[in-house]
Each structure stands twice: as structure tokens, then as C-alpha cells.
A and B are shown apart, each in its own frame.
Chain A
Amino acid sequence: RKEVEQDPGPFNVPEGATVAFNCTYSNSASQSFFWYRQDCRKEPKLLMSVYSSGNEDGRFTAQLNRASQYISLLIRDSKLSDSATYLCVVTRSGGSYIPTFGRGTSLIVHP
């Protein structure tokens, strides 16, 4: 089983839709969680960190469920510019804070 698993999609949604992605991780001792966004042929960029209490940044909401070992990302009122690959990142415990990336979920927002 991979350390971080994501549905690769693509998720094809119309503008204005709400879409949610999940990501599961296998190491129960994982410490930190993030969502990154990667546009085609570009480098990944941090979208948001994920906290146990859940956090929101505008149209984006991230949640962590430690008991079930998954994190989620909810995007409300999707824009065409949200089309990208969303990478789930889990940081290994043990002091080195080595991030493990999922393969990413592709989102396509169409008019």
C-alpha cells in the first residue's frame, strides 16, 4: 500500500460547482499535512496547510481526520482558474520532516 493515496481523477466539473478530494495516508504517526497545487508543466505551490481543527481559506476548506487517516480538500464555487492538479502531502515523523507526496488529483473546471 502506498504511503499517500489519491484518486488521480480527472474530476470534470462546471464553473460554480463544489468539488471535494480525499487523500488517505498509511503512517499513523504522520505529523503534518498539506495541499499543494500544481499547474501543467509548472512546479508545485503550497495551497494550504491542514490542521486538526480544520481550516478555511476563502473558497477552500481543508480537514484532517486522524482516526480514519485521511485529509480532504473542498473547493466551493469552482473557477476556471482552479483547473490544476492537487497534491496531498504528508510529513513523515521522526525529526527530518520529509514530505511524501500523493500522485495528485486532476481537476478540470469547464464553462
Chain B
Amino acid sequence: GAGVSQTPSNKVTEKGKYVELRCDPISGHTALYWYRQSLGQGPEFLIYFQGTGAADDSGLPNDRFFAVRPEGSVSTLKIQRTERGDSAVYLCASRSQGRETDTQYFGPGTRLTVL
């Protein structure tokens, strides 16, 4: 079956611009996670959705970052007034029900470059 997909695969933007990154989880997966991965580092947790609601957004670095999942499937990560330090690979992952024993499946990521 189809895995987690993310669009776009690459995004180049200018400092100060607004960007939206999209994640399509595996069909039926209720848990969805966003991570950010910088070069040479592991994925850093940003936000976790269980269904439509953000169950934990403690990883969002500041109020320029926001994410939604209005219908409990597709999610969009929104970054306002982008800064050069936001450049990273943004990874999305989904899990069947969010139990720790369920395998987390990652999408291929969106590589964001802020010039």
C-alpha cells in the first residue's frame, strides 16, 4: 500500500516568506508526527496529532511554526517569516494508533532551504 508522502520534496524560499509543507499519512493512521532534521543530527520532535487535535506541540520552536490536521488525515506545517535557521529537512511520520508499540512510518521529507 501507499506509504507516507510529503510535498514538496524540495522548497527554496527567501528569508521572511511564508511556507506550507504537506504530509499525507498512511490511510487509517490516527497518529501523525512532524520532525525537523538538521545535517548531522537526529530528527527533532515538533508536534504530534492524535486525530484532528494537536496532542503535544511542545517541540514547536516558536510561534512562527503552526500545524493543522483539520480532517484527521492530511496535515500541513506552516512556517511564517522564515529565517535561515529554519533550513532543514522536515519529516512527517504516522502511526496506526499512537501506541508506543506501533511502528512509526516516515515520509521522505521536505528539504527546506531559506536563502
Contacts and interface: CB of A to CB of B under 8 A. Distances in A.
Interface residues of B, number: 24
Contact of A96 (B42, B43, B55, B103): B55
A4 to B, nearest CB: 8
Interface in B12-53: 33, 35, 40-45, 48
B101 interface: yes
Interface of B: 33, 35, 40-45, 48, 55-56, 58-59, 91, 98-101, 103-104, 106-109
Interface in A85-104: 87, 91, 96-104
A44 interface: yes
Contact of B56 (A31, A42, A96, A102): A96
Contact of A43 (B45, B56, B109): B109
A17 interface: no
Given A43-B91, A43-B108, A43-B109, A32 B100 contact: yes
Contacts of B101: 32, 49
A101 B109 CA distance: 16
Interface of B, secondary structure class, is: loop
Contacts, number: 47
Contacts of A31: 100
Contacts of B98: 97
Interface of A: 4, 8, 31-32, 42-46, 49, 87, 91, 96-104
A81 to B, nearest CB: 19
Q: Which of B42, B45, B107 has the most CB of A within 10 A?
A: B42
Contact of A104 (B42, B58, B104, B109): B42
